[in-house]
Amino acid sequence: MNKLLTGFGIAVTRPIDQAQRLCLAIEQQAGTAFLFPLIAIAPLDDYSAFEQSLSQLESVSWAIFISTNAVDNAMPRIIQKFATVPENVKFAAIGHQTAKQLGLYGVHNVLVPHTRFDSESLLALPEMRDVADQTVMIFRGVGGREVLADTLKARGARLIFAESYRRVNPQTSCAALESLWQKQQLHAIVVTSSEAMRHLLQMTHNGSDEWIRSIHICVNHARIAEEADALALNALNVHIADAPGDEAILVCLQQTLVNQP
């Protein structure tokens, strides 16, 4: 095992239960991982609307899952309700990680984009272009980007939303990160969602605080970098990993931190 991250402190902003593997990988390369979740996944106070949507699942053509959180918060309820996954439903996912999570619940034939893993890439697939008069159920958290729904609707699909969780920011400030930076113990931050990036920027005066402009930020999608550039006026040191997985994030951290002069 190489020790390429020796002496570097890295904050991981994923939800706690999704950050452990990356934190361990950082520490295996002799880096110091700081868990600083900017997103927490919380259950809904009332699942009646979700259950009402779920009652229509057997009549839909496509079930699209936006994230692994959507899988983990919806699939147990689907299996509990139907005993098994309805055979007539076709499944799609935003990315390979979400598809892999569906596999844990017995769903293995999943439509996934080939390159960039986002709504736009999924919409570009032939199967998502020909959806006129089809019913599509979108599994997601409360709110989120509307580009997928708006585009499918414009193409003639009937939409049903199945929202099974909500996202909250568990942090009230970035004082802990700033303190680590002042002590020269923090060198990079990993951000893997646009919402987490927005929370980070909101708590640093749109990225104008001195410390955040001195830190390297590794992201796993170009859209997250675009969010940072738009809100912080291209003032941040944002680096984009080549793929969405942990291995690509590690490579991004290595190239960014080890190869910097």
Tell me, yes or no, whether 60 and 163 share the same domain. yes
Does residue 210 sit in the same domain as residue 254?
A: yes
Alpha-carbon distance 50 to 164, whole Å?
Answer: 6
Give the C-alpha separation, 42 to 84, whole Å: 25
Same domain, 25 and 99: no
Same-domain check for residues 96 and 181:
no
Which is higher by pLDDT, 65 or 226? 65
Question: Exposed/middle/buried for 46, CB within 10 Å: 0-12, 13-18, 19+?
Answer: exposed
Instruction: Check pLDDT > 80 for residue 260.
Output: no
Residue 126 within any structural domain of the chain? yes
Q: Are residues 64 and 140 in the same domain?
A: yes
In this predicted structure, what is the pLDDT of residue 45? 94
In a domain? residue 3: no
CA distance 237 to 254: 15
Note whether 52 and 27 are same-domain residues: no
Q: What tokens does 36 get?
A: 């600083």
- Is the pTM higher than 0.95? The answer reads no
User: What was the pLDDT predicted at 214?
Assistant: 93
Could you count the other beta carbons within 10 Å of the beta carbon of residue 84?
8
Query: Could you tell me if residue 4 is inside a domain?
Result: no
pLDDT tens figures, 60-117: 999 999 999 999 999 999 999 999 889 899 999 998 889 999 999 999 999 999 877 7
Structure tokens at 237: 């040191």
196-214: average pLDDT: 94
Overall number of domains in the chain: 2
**Structure confidence by residue, pLDDT tens digits, 9-18:** 999 999 998 8
84 and 132 co-located in one domain: yes
CA angle 39, 43, 140 (to 5 degrees): 70
Q: Which of 149, 167, 185 is the last residue of a domain?
A: 167
* pLDDT of 261 above 70: no
In a domain? residue 111: yes
In angstroms, the Cα distances linking 29 to 17, 21, 251 are 21, 13, 11
| SS3 per-residue string spanning the chain | CCCCCCCCEEEECCCHHHHHHHHHHHHHCCCEEEECCCCEEECCCCCHHHHHHHCCHHHCCEEEECCHHHHHHHHHHHHHHHCCCCCCCEEEECCHHHHHHHHCCCCCCEECCCCCCCHHHHHCCHHHHCCCCCEEEEEECCCCCCHHHHHHHHCCCEEEEEECCEEECCCCCCHHHHHHHHCCCCCEEEECCHHHHHHHHHCCCCCCCHHHHCCEEEECCHHHHHHHHHHHCCCCEEEECCCCCHHHHHHHHHHHHHCCC
56 and 18 in one domain? no
pLDDT at 197 exceeding the cut of 60 = yes
Last residue of a domain, one of 120, 137, 167: 167
Ranking 40-49, 90-99, 225-234 by mean pLDDT, the lowest is 225-234
In a domain, 2, yes or no: no
Q: Is the pLDDT reported for residue 56 higher than 60?
A: yes
**pLDDT value at residue 221:** 87
Reported as a single tens digit per residue, the pLDDT across 180-195 is 999 999 999 999 988 8
Give residue 238's identity as a one-letter amino acid code: V
Furthest-apart CA pair in the chain: how many Å? 59
Residue 1 lies in a domain: no
Position 36 scores a pLDDT of: 98
Same domain, 124 and 219: no
Range of the domain at 229: 9-39+173-258
Statement to judge: residues 159 and 186 lie in one domain: no
Answer yes or no: do 148 and 162 share one domain: yes
Residue 244: is its pLDDT beyond 80?
no
Question: Rg (Cα) of the chain, in Å, rounded?
Answer: 20
Amino acid at 240: I
Cα-based torsion angle of the residue sequence 18, 22, 23, 24 in order, rounded to the nearest 10 degrees: 110
Question: Do residues 128 and 177 share a domain?
Answer: no
Q: What is the pLDDT of residue 1?
A: 54
On whether residue 162 sits in a domain, the answer given is yes
- Domain closes at, from 151, 167, 183: 167
Q: CATH no. for residue 159?
A: 3.40.50.10090
Average pLDDT, the chain: 93
Say if CB 65 and CB 92 are below 8 A apart.
yes
Would residue 81 count as lying in a domain?
yes
- pLDDT tens, position by position, 158-167: 999 999 999 9
| Distance from the Cα of residue 110 to its chain's centroid | 18
